[in-house]
Amino acid sequence: MQVENLSRIELELLFGQWGRRNGIRKHLLDLDDTICDTDKVFKEQFLACSAYLARKAPQLGPEQWKKKLVEVNDGLFASLGVRREKLGAVMTEVGKQYSLPGEVRETAWGILDQIYERPIQMLPGAEEGLAFIKKCGVPLGIVTHGGLQWSWRKYQWLNMARYLDWDEVYVVDENGHKTERSWQEGCRYHGVKPEECCVTGNSPLSDINPALNIGVRHCFLVENDGLWSIHKVPLVKEVKRIPDLSAFIGLGAEYLTA
């Protein structure tokens, strides 16, 4: 069946049928860099912070400061996860290594901390994709670990109420990356067994592999530039790769009917 010959209504019907045939009761999605462009905000604030440090502490150029900040930030991921305070710990560590004055450290932290204050945008294709899934009658749920307050802000910035209630956003422990346990808890919260949901995310480490390991049968990997190097691990099983969420609209009759 040629997907480009199908009308929008036929595509919706096909997707709905595929869901029913596979016993899919809920479509669970990751939020950061799956639905919204969190990576852009991170990159811009890290860049601004590096430029500031290069002015105040010219022993390193902006590019070298950026490398240093990323290196320390990555190093603290295992112990501090994605907590907001982690960026303070990054500047404490960097400040110690380069004997930065307290005021410079504080200002640099302030620049990084803006990450949590800046409105985040939808990724291209996300609005179309979410609207499509909803239209097909598949309830949506979010499983994220970005912290409760920040998640609530993102929900509002992105006007996510168009697609799901705030109650459908499950915020897991932010002190690490999402694990099998996080997805198990996420499924329990959303009232589905792993085999009754689809999981879509951009991280093999935090989304796809743990979901596959607990028995989710249908996973979709959003492949975009926003993948933090820490999350780049081999998939435990090959899954469907999509460039953005709008790919659900024309996922292909050959896949959906399989």
Chain residues in the site for Mg ion (CB under 5 A): 30, 32-33, 202
Which C-beta is closer to Mg ion: that of 11 or that of 122? Answer: 122
Q: How far is the CB of 203 from Mg ion (least distance, A)?
A: 5
Q: How far is the CB of 33 from Mg ion (least distance, A)?
A: 4
* Nearest alpha carbon to residue 104 among 112, 95, 116, 113: 95
Q: How far is the CB of 201 from Mg ion (least distance, A)?
A: 6
Q: Kindly state the tokens that stand for 123.
A: 């990724």
Helices (H), the chain: 8-21, 38-56, 62-80, 86-98, 102-113, 126-135, 148-157, 180-190, 209-213, 253-256
Which C-beta is closer to Mg ion: that of 32 or that of 244? Answer: 32
Q: How far is the CB of 190 from Mg ion (least distance, A)?
A: 17
What are the contacts of 231-240 at 24+ separation with CB within 8 A? 231/177, 231/202, 231/203, 231/204, 231/205, 231/206, 232/204, 232/205, 233/204, 233/205, 233/209, 234/204, 235/204, 235/208, 235/209, 236/209, 236/212, 237/212, 239/208, 239/212
Q: How far is the CB of 174 from Mg ion (least distance, A)?
A: 13
Q: How far is the CB of 179 from Mg ion (least distance, A)?
A: 14
Which C-beta is closer to Mg ion: that of 19 or that of 201? Answer: 201
Q: Is 144 helix (H, G, I), strand (E, B) or coil?
A: strand
Which C-beta is closer to Mg ion: that of 206 or that of 246? Answer: 206
For Mg ion, which residue has the nearest CB?
32
Which C-beta is closer to Mg ion: that of 31 or that of 187? Answer: 31
- Cα–Cα distance, 172 to 31 (Å, whole number): 12
Which C-beta is closer to Mg ion: that of 50 or that of 200? Answer: 200
